Amino acid sequence: MKLLLKGARVIDPSQKIDALMDVLIEEGKIGACGTAITASPDVKVIDLTGMIVAPGLIDMHVHLREPGLEYKETIASGSAAAVAGGFTSIACMPNTEPVNDNRSITEFIRRKAAEANLANVYPIGAISIGSEGRQLTEFWDLKEAGIIALSDDGKPVMDAALLRRALEYASSLDLPVIQHCEDKNLSAGGLMNEGYYATILGLPGIPAIAEDVMVARDILIAEYTRTRIHIAHVSTAGAVRLIRDAKARGLNVTAETAPHYFTLTDESLQDYNTNYKVSPPLRNATDVGAIKEGLADGTLDAIACDHAPHGRTDKEVEFEYALNGISGLETSLGLSLNLWHDGILPLPELIAKMSCNPARILSLDKGMLAIGSDADITVINPDLPWIVDVKSFHSRGKNSPFHGLKMKGRAVLTIVGGDIKYNGLAEKP
Amino acid sequence: MTEEKGPKIVMDSNVIERCLTRIAYEILEKNKGMDNLVLVGIRTGGIFLAERLQKKISAIEGREVPLGILDITLYRDDISKSKKKAPLGKTNIPFDLTEKKVILVDDVLFTGRTIRAAMDALIDFGRPKMIQLAVLIDRGHRELPIRADYVGKNLPSSLWEAVSVNLLEKNGRDEVVIEEET
Amino acid sequence: MMKLEKKDILGIREMTVDEINLILETAESFLEISTRDIKKVPTLRGKSVINLFYEASTRTRTSFEIAGKRLSADTINISASTSSVVKGETLIDTARNLEAMNPDIIVIRHSAAGAPHLLASLVSQSIINAGDGAHEHPSQALLDMMTIKAKKGKIHGLKIALVGDILHSRVARSNIYGLSKMGAEVVVAGPATMIPRDIERMGVKVYTKLDDAIADADVVMMLRIQLERQKQNIFPSLREYAQHYCLNRNNIKRAKDDVIVMHPGPMNRGVEISPDIADDPNYSVILDQVNNGVAVRMALLYLLSGGNE
For A384-410, what is the mean pLDDT?
97
Residue B30 pLDDT > 60: yes
| pLDDT of the residue at C84 | 47
| pLDDT of the residue at C185 | 98
Per the CB < 8 Å rule, is A317 touching C92?
Answer: yes
User: What percent of chain A stands above pLDDT 70?
Assistant: 99
Residue A39 pLDDT > 90: no
Q: Residues of B with CB below 8 A from C33's CB? A: 74, 91
For B162-171, what is the mean pLDDT?
89
| pLDDT of the residue at C307 | 42
pLDDT per position as a tens digit, C168-180: 999 999 999 999 9
Q: Touching check for A144 and chain C: CB below 8 Å? A: no
- From chain C, which residues contact B within 8 Å (Cβ)? 1-4, 22, 25-26, 28-30, 32-33, 36-38, 40-44, 46-47, 71, 299, 302-307, 309
Q: Which of C29, C38, C309 sits opposite B89 (nearest CB)?
A: C29
- What pairing do the DSSP bridges indicate for beta strands B130-138 and C219-222? unpaired
Please spell the DSSP secondary structure of chain C, one letter per residue. Answer: -B----S-B--STT--HHHHHHHHHHHHHHGGGGGSSS---STTTT-EEEEEESS--SHHHHHHHHHHHHTT-EEEEEETTTSGGGGT--HHHHHHHHHHT--SEEEEEESSTTHHHHHHHH-SSEEEEEEETTTB-HHHHHHHHHHHHHHHS--TT-EEEEES--TT-HHHHHHHHHHHHTT-EEEEES-GGGS-TTGGGGT-EEESSHHHHHTT-SEEEEPPPPGGGGGGTS-S-HHHHHHHH-B-TTGGGGS-TT-EEE--S---BTTTB-HHHHT-TTTB-HHHHHHHHHHHHHHHHHHH-S---
Q: Residues of B with CB below 8 A from C38's CB? A: 124-125
Note whether A409 and A397 are within 8 A (CB).
no
Query: For residue A294, which of A222, A353, A364 has the smallest C-alpha distance?
Result: A353
Distances (CA, A) of B3 to A358, B6, B9, B156, B159: 91, 9, 15, 17, 17
Which of these is catalytic: A306, A314, A374, A376? A306
Whether the ipTM is more than 0.85: the answer is yes
* Distance to chain C for A66, nearest Cα, Å: 25
| pLDDT of the residue at C5 | 76
Residue A122 pLDDT > 60: yes
Per the CB < 8 Å rule, is C42 touching B71?
Answer: no
Any chains having at least 3 CB pairs less than 8 A from chain C are A, B
Per the CB < 8 Å rule, is A318 touching C118?
Answer: yes
Query: For residue A135, which of A105, A119, A157 has the smallest C-alpha distance?
Result: A157
pLDDT per position as a tens digit, C190-225: 999 999 999 999 999 999 999 999 999 999 999 999
Residue B2 pLDDT > 70: no
| Radius of gyration of chain A from its Cα atoms, rounded to whole angstroms | 21
Residue A295 pLDDT > 60: yes
- The whole-number mean pLDDT for each consecutive block of 10 residues of chain C, a chain of 309 residues, reads 78 96 94 89 93 91 96 90 58 89 94 95 94 97 98 98 96 98 98 96 96 97 88 90 96 97 94 95 95 97 71
Per the CB < 8 Å rule, is A199 touching C117?
Answer: no
Note whether C127 and C119 are within 8 A (CB).
yes
CA A209/CA B113 separation, integer angstroms: 68
For A348-356, what is the mean pLDDT?
98
Residue B1 pLDDT > 50: no
Residue A301 pLDDT > 50: yes
Query: For residue A1, which of A45, A38, A33, A35 has the smallest C-alpha distance?
Result: A45
Q: Which of C110, C132, C197 sits opposite A195 (nearest CB)?
A: C197
Residue A161 pLDDT > 50: yes
Comparison of pLDDT for A42 and A190, the residue scoring more: A190
CA C121/CA C296 separation, integer angstroms: 24
* Distance to chain A for C42, nearest Cα, Å: 36
With the C-alpha atoms ordered C202, C207, C208, C210, is the resulting torsion angle positive or negative?
A: negative
User: How long, in residues, is chain B?
Assistant: 182
User: What percent of chain C stands above pLDDT 90?
Assistant: 81
Instruction: Mark whether A306 is an active-site residue.
Output: yes
